[in-house]
Structure 1
Amino acid sequence: MAQSSLINSLSLKDEKTWIWRGFPITYQSCGETGPAVILVHGFGASWQHWRKNIPVLGQTCRCYALDLIGFGGSAKPTPKQEIDYTFETWGQQVADFCQEVVGSPAFLVGNSIGCVVVMQTAVSYPQWVLGVAALNCSLRLLHERKRATLPWYRRVGAAFAQRILTNQAIGTLFFQQIAKPRTVRKILLQAYNRPEAVTDELIDILLKPAQDKGAAAVFLAFTGYSQGPLPEDLLPILPCPTILLWGTEDPWENIELAREWANYPNVEQFIPLEGVGHCPQDEAPELVNPILQEWISIKHKETL
């Protein structure tokens, strides 16, 4: 079946629900045989950001993509009162998904902050992770340890902006201004190097969850999250084979800042994706899918 036909075969009607800690979590799956692979989205996205990858990987794998709690169609419980939105929380969610839904260890693939999530999962729950593929990993440049290295004016500016957004009224107004089609399109045209990939469908995918009750609170909780692990903390202690894919035209996560990560012993490959931006799985699935298929196949055979 042609890749376009496979992509079109995915439907929201087929979306599935898993109850985790009493909260509904949405996910999608495709494929009945082969090794398991779980796709984890970035900040503000959902499983649908992998709609061009799920059915293709599902030809040779048991492929799953889930919405992290707080995002997509998943529940958005109140920050701090009901749940802490941290990489440790999301790492446990992915590990529990492996155990309760997948039923076996899996290869984990992440994009942006999803990369940090899958790395945290591998470090905290190594028995459930066969390998990690990270696509344009978030560098977490606003982390408190990294802010300390910035020029004073940028350091003060970032801290001031985060402090202002903790005000509920100001933060909610800011979120409402961002969660508009024109603004989302403008942001995506910065993140994507191929403007034709920024479609009305993509904008709808990102905007719909923003209308959910609690979405603004989750957004603001994460923008104020300057702690937790950095990729540099997790990469050296990953207990599994790892590959890094990076769109060379990413304006947010500069490839030059990450090239040294290829020197970590468990990083088997650092693969530049020429002419691609921050979300290569969506912008250039014809490049990403074959790389993931081949890598998963090779690593799976090594475990047999």
Structure 2
Amino acid sequence: MINLEQWRQAGSTFEFQGMPVFTRTGGNPKGPAVVLIHGFPTSSWDWSKIWPKLEARFSLYAVDMIGFGDSAKPKDFTYLIQDQATLIETWLRKQRVGEYHILAHDYGDTVAQELIARDLERRTGEREDDSSLRIMSACLLNGGIFPESHQPLLLQKLLLSPVGFLIARLTSKRKLADSLANIFGPDTPPSDEEVEVFWELITRNDGVGVMHKLIHYMPQRQKFRERWVGALLDTEVPVKLINGPLDPISGEHMAERYRQLILDPDVTLLPGIGHYPQVEAPDLVTRHYLEFHNSLGR
């Protein structure tokens, strides 16, 4: 695992709509580009165990989206999934990335669905822009890709309520640790160091002050279900699901829904693993991701 100080030292800042955004690049500059998209409420550091296992083969790109980690957390931002997708595309163009692969988790799955929808529109001529961006594959870890199967925690429901801003202010490191313990696998709980880093990155730049705004990705999933689920149904881009089945939010029940809706579904369940496969079982996630990538023949 790369510790937080090392993670930050290798990062840089990108300005998006006047806001500072933490980014990190690395790996093999001659390898295929892989964009790693983190989940809620954490940050790109979620990939710190996976990163060293992928950097010999791939050119890696990660970003703390607006409202997360070491990036800006403005009180007056809309926090739409579309905004986060635009952030990623704008940064990739700046990095002169064309073809790229996606590895996403949780909230990042939804951002990936919007990116896939845009990719589909470009391929069919429905989206006219000068972008050379093209998605080559997507691998999704536990996330609410089908809103009807998403089972949010009580805390998430409270954050969506009219008193969500107060709930966010009452959140503590202890409460975070308890929540994580409930969604990780019973034999793969987060370490004290991981909880400490998660908490530091969540609270940086008064992050608790925008958590009740960030959580509105859940009703956005309902509103844009046709677009985002449709993107998975219609895309010709290879997509794989790696799922921690013990996750109460988006575990085996989400994988089962994926099998019901997706033609020729490519699904791998990781026994004993919960909501954060890349943290709980980085070796397994790496192995299955590499097998998926090898199967692409590219």
Q: TM-score range by the shorter chain?
A: 0.7 to 0.9
- More displaced, 84-93 or 204-213? 204-213
- CA distance, structure 2, for counterparts of residue 182 and residue 220 of structure 1: 19
TM-score by length of 2: 0.82
Does residue 181 of structure 1 match 2:152? no
1:27 to 14, 20, 23: 23
8 A Cα contact 2:202 2:208, kept in partner: yes
Give how far 1:239 is off: 4.0
Give how far 1:194 is off: 4.3
Q: What is residue 121 of structure 1 aligned with on the other side?
A: 115
CA deviation profile, 1:44-71 (whole Å, cap 9, x unmatched) = 1111010001121111000122111111
8 A Cα contact 2:168 2:209, kept in partner: no
8 A Cα contact 2:232 2:262, kept in partner: no
Q: Over the residues paired in the alignment, what is the CA RMSD in angstroms?
A: 2.8
- CA distance, structure 1, for counterparts of residue 34 and residue 249 of structure 2: 26
Q: What is residue 92 of structure 1 aligned with on the other side?
A: 86
Give how far 1:139 is off: 4.7
| SS in structure 2 at match of 1:72 | coil
Does residue 134 of structure 1 match 2:140? yes
- CA distance, structure 1, for counterparts of residue 78 and residue 264 of structure 2: 30
How many residue pairs get aligned? The number is 275
Does residue 223 of structure 1 match 2:215? yes
| SS in structure 1 at match of 2:115 | helix
CA deviation profile, 1:119-175 (whole Å, cap 9, x unmatched) = 11121135431111110122565xxxx59xx9xxx9xxx98873422xxxxx44321
- CA distance, structure 2, for counterparts of residue 68 and residue 54 of structure 1: 18
- Flag the 1:84–1:58 CA change in 2: closer, same or farther, 3 A: same
8 A Cα contact 1:41 1:49, kept in partner: yes
Give how far 1:12 is off: 2.0
Give how far 1:233 is off: 3.7
Does residue 18 of structure 1 match 2:14? yes
- Flag the 1:118–1:33 CA change in 2: closer, same or farther, 3 A: same
Does residue 58 of structure 1 match 2:92? no
- Flag the 1:185–1:275 CA change in 2: closer, same or farther, 3 A: same
Give how far 1:264 is off: 4.9
- CA distance, structure 2, for counterparts of residue 91 and residue 202 of structure 1: 27
Q: What is residue 106 of structure 1 aligned with on the other side?
A: 100
Alignment of 1:182-197 (within 5 A): 182-194=174-186, 196-197=188-189
| SS in structure 2 at match of 1:136 | coil
- CA distance, structure 2, for counterparts of residue 287 and residue 173 of structure 1: 39
- CA distance, structure 2, for counterparts of residue 182 and residue 121 of structure 1: 35
CA deviation profile, 1:88-127 (whole Å, cap 9, x unmatched) = 1111122222221252221011111111111111211354
- Flag the 1:54–1:77 CA change in 2: closer, same or farther, 3 A: same
- CA distance, structure 1, for counterparts of residue 104 and residue 16 of structure 2: 20
| SS in structure 1 at match of 2:105 | strand
- CA distance, structure 1, for counterparts of residue 202 and residue 158 of structure 2: 25
TM-score by length of 1: 0.80
- Flag the 1:234–1:137 CA change in 2: closer, same or farther, 3 A: farther
- CA distance, structure 2, for counterparts of residue 131 and residue 266 of structure 1: 16
- CA distance, structure 2, for counterparts of residue 267 and residue 222 of structure 1: 33
- CA distance, structure 2, for counterparts of residue 183 and residue 14 of structure 1: 30
1:274 to 241, 248, 271: 271
Does residue 164 of structure 1 match 2:165? no
- Flag the 1:37–1:160 CA change in 2: closer, same or farther, 3 A: closer
Q: What is residue 168 of structure 1 aligned with on the other side?
A: none
| SS in structure 1 at match of 2:241 | strand
| SS in structure 2 at match of 1:125 | helix
8 A Cα contact 1:235 1:264, kept in partner: no
8 A Cα contact 1:40 1:110, kept in partner: yes
